[in-house]
Amino acid sequence: MSVEKTYAEINAKIKAGKAVVVTAEELIGLVQKKGLSAAAKEVDVVTTGTFAPMCSSGAFLNFGHTKPRMKMQKVWLNGVPAYGGIAAVDAYLGAAELPDDDPLNSNYPGEFRYGGGHVIQDLVARKPVKLKALAYGTDCYPRREFETTITLDEINEAILFNPRNAYQNYNCAVNLTSRTAYTYMGMLKPNLGNAHYSTSGQLSPLLKDPHFKTIGIGTKIFLGGATGYVAWHGTQHFPSIQNLEGQDLGPAGGTLAVIGDLKQMNPRWLVGTSYIGYGATLSVGIGVPIPILNEEIAKYAAATDQELFAPVVDYGEAYPSRTPGNLGYVSYAQLKSGKITVNGKEIPTAPLSSIPRAREIASTLKDWISNGNFQLTEPVKLLPSPADAPAANVLRA
Amino acid sequence: MSPKRIVLRFGTDISVKPIVYRLVKDYDLVVNIVKADVNPQKEGTMVLEVIGDQSEQGLDYLREIGVSVQDLNQEIIRNDDKCVMCGACTAICPTGALYLERNSMEVKFDGDNCVVCQLCVKVCPMRAMEVRL
């Protein structure tokens, strides 16, 4: 009979220090050695990891009230605007936000050396950050201007809340045009000069739970070096199973909205990031534990780089113009080999997602759980799965 | 007169042209090829030491035909505190000085193969590659 485990049983083993925890890569080795059934029986938790630029990230901050009081309608941190259109002295600092005086792409390609993601990293690194605020003045909030220096420890709250992180899968980006393309997938040389990809493949959280059998609202995760939670499905969460002429090419399209206490996090796992010609962002470290409740969940978690595929997409012309279709699929094993063949041409590949850091996250999360410091949470509600088939909207003028 | 050290970068169209011959024959330059490489994408890089009265004219000729010419009086170093080993530089670096070690997928930097083209300085998302004079 195949194995069935509950969250409560797994947590009891974690508490007793007896849980068997392995990383997703270790699980692959175990399944190859002992077979799926034995591995599913033996292993309680599989840990995953990803460390990559995730633009849909940011932090809610509450600065504390000034004396006299102030509404802080317009807010800047180190010159980067934060959104102040919420209650007094609350603001949301977005990772992709840029200073008002940034030259942007006026001197193409722009450098985007400092943006919201860099401010977040500076805050987490406990560096002093300049706060400037303006307001129109009310009877209850009379103050109109304020400037000071803050540190993360001095302000009331700092909550990392990222509406779209941990993309399940991502395009492999190439450039078919005859000019260099500066994109969020990095610098793409003309005429298929290089190919960039951005997931950790067989270590990546959502590639290991394609049908969202375990990940849902309330799932406790590794976020930015601390514990965080899955808050909701991410924006543009359109999970599907890729299929080419009947061949299952693995999942794509799922995303997570995640939340956690910025004050507990670490600048090693929240890194300000700049893409030439594109913009500023934040690289985020995320690790999701997958409880091996049954053999089916183990089978998905053991998917290998050979079984997971990315579509190859032209970012010179097809992507910006939203022309449908792709240039074929390549496996993560091919991508990680350093070379793929597109339109008959062999081209070098490079990741934008750090595999060494993804491994470090999976192994750190494994240690937390093995040491009994991190119990699993049963989701309040699972996220929509490919069977729920949400579809992307096309915005028309 | 001390030699001028320069780095040349050029595309497929130039790789097939005898540019060093032109520097010697048309501009009477003494040319020492320190390093030369054409990668699998047929992009070329060359480090030259050049001596001669017409060296500036020779370099202008190179620029006119589309060769990128840079002085070599700098070196590139990697700030290991900033590098997150993402790999974004590895398919951009024209000489393979920055490369991914397979299996570990760690980014390695071999300064001996670096021609200081500075592309990595521009594309590194963490600004971990620095120019030193």
Confidence of residue A2 (pLDDT cuts 50, 70, 90): confident
CA dist A41 and A303 (Å) reads 17
Q: Does A273 touch chain B (CB under 8 A)?
A: yes
ipTM of the complex: 0.94
Q: Across the interface, do B85 and A354 touch by the CB < 8 Å criterion?
A: yes
| pLDDT score of B71 | 85
What is the band of A232 on the pLDDT scale with cuts at 50, 70, 90?
very high
Q: Do domains B4-71 and B75-132 have the same CATH topology?
A: yes
Average pLDDT score over chain A: 97
Q: Check pLDDT > 60 for residue A136.
A: yes
Selected residue with higher pLDDT from A141 and B1: A141
User: Which of A296-305, A346-355, B5-14, B105-114 comes out lowest in average pLDDT?
Assistant: B5-14
- What pLDDT was estimated at residue B18? 92
Full-model pTM: 0.92
A77 in a structural domain = yes
Convert the pLDDT of each residue in A62-112 to its tens digit: 999 999 999 999 999 999 999 999 999 999 999 999 999 999 999 999 999
| Predicted pLDDT of residue A391 | 74
Q: How confident is the model at residue B72 (pLDDT cuts 50, 70, 90)?
A: confident
Question: What confidence tens digit (pLDDT) does each residue in B9-21 have?
Answer: 998 888 888 999 9
- Tell me if chain A has a CB within 8 Å of the CB of B123: yes
Averaged pLDDT, B45-74: 91
Q: What pLDDT does residue B90 have?
A: 98
Closest-CA residue of chain A to B85: A354
Residues of chain B in contact with residue A346, where contact means CB-CB under 8 angstroms, are 40
Domain assignment present for residue A356? The answer is no
Residue B39: the pLDDT is 86
At the topology level, CATH places domain B4-71 in Alpha-Beta Plaits (3.30.70)
Residue A278's pLDDT is 98
| Amino acid B15: pLDDT | 84
**Containing domain of residue A116, as a range?**
58-160
Total structural domains in chain A? 1
Q: If you search the block for the tokens 């540019």, which residue do you land on? A: B19
Q: Which of A1, A16, A140, A387 is flagged as catalytic?
A: A140
What's the pLDDT tens digit per position in B22-39? 999 999 999 999 888 888
Q: How far apart are CA A125 and CA A270, in angstroms?
A: 9
Q: Does a structural domain hold residue A296?
A: no
Q: What is the mean pLDDT of residues A374-378?
A: 98
pLDDT at A322: 95
pLDDT score at A1 = 53
B133 or A166: whose pLDDT is higher? A166
DSSP three-state, residue B59? helix
A172 classed as catalytic:
no
Model confidence pLDDT, tens digit, residues A3-51: 999 999 999 999 999 999 999 999 999 999 999 999 999 999 999 999 9
Rounded Cα gap, residues B41 and A191, in angstroms: 10
pLDDT at position B13: 87
Query: CA A75, A76, A82: angle at the middle one, nearest 5?
Result: 65
A195/B91 CB distance under 8 A: yes
What CATH class does B75-132 carry? alpha beta
A128 belongs to a structural domain = yes
Q: Domain limits of chain B?
A: 4-71, 75-132
φ, ψ (nearest 5 deg) of residue A165: -130, 170
Residues of B in contact with A337 (CB under 8 A): 102
- Measured in residues, chain A has a length of 397
